[in-house]
Amino acid sequence: MSRGKKRSNRRNRTVGTPKWVLGAVGVGGVVAIALAFLAVSANRAPESTYVRPPAAAEEPPAAVVEVTALAFIGDSYLAASESSDWVSAVTGQMPVAATASISSLGGSGYVTRGLSDSVFGEHVVDMVSDKTDVVVFFGSRNDAGQGNVGAAATAAYVEALALAPSAKLVVVGPVWTDENVPSSIETLNDELRASVDGFGGMYVDAIAEGWFFNENASLIGSDGVHPSDEGRTYIATLMLPHLTAATT
């Protein structure tokens, strides 16, 4: 009996890479790509998250407070006592911010030399400048019976307005202590009023307004000439509307 070839019971195998290896390689490739992407992303500059704050609102400029400068030249009625200062009181009550410089010359007038041995006009250059807004001359009863008062007053006003061309002129006439006004005071009052008219200034007629007439005569102090502390406060109330009109 002839023998045939003995059939091998082994199956032919395809030589190659196992499937599990291929699977592993596939997964590894995906992982490698993912890691590469992450590496690139990590090296990339991060997107800015900065948000510009809104521009701060500009603060308005500070308001400039204009201060009105007043210069007072006059007799002892301008002087303050230890407890009363009517000039400071009235400037503090005005509707505008105001400062006051004062030259109080006891016993003096436009022509009469008093305790300071000077007259009103000689103090103009020290009291008035181009920054002065209002020039106030106060009085004076000390000039009663004297000559050339009008001319001396006019010269003082001319000099004051030359130093302060934009200033307003306020002149307060002589003050008397009661309603029994001597004729010499009335004459002086008329002369000063006339001298102011040529300058377009304001004349405060204390005689016509009757400042210390009748019951208000009690506001004169014990010396019979000068106002008491209460009288000084009273003068402030009298002068307030005049000075307000001159500064508004």
Q: Show which residues are catalytic.
A: 76, 223, 226
- Residue 86 tokens read as 């009517």
Name the H helices within 95-139.
124-127
Q: Hey, what amino acid is at 197?
A: D
User: Which residues, other chains included, contact 141 with Cβ-Cβ below 8 Å and sequence gap of 6+?
Assistant: 75, 109, 174, 175, 176, 185, 188
Cα separation, 67 vs 169, whole angstroms = 17
183-197 helix and 149-163 helix, angle to the nearest 10 degrees? 40
At 74, give phi and psi (nearest 5°): -175, -165
Burial 207-244 (b: 16+ CB within 10 A, else e): beeebbbeebbebbeeeeebbbbebbbbbbebbbebbe
User: Which residues, other chains included, contact 222 with Cβ-Cβ below 8 Å and sequence gap of 6+?
Assistant: 228
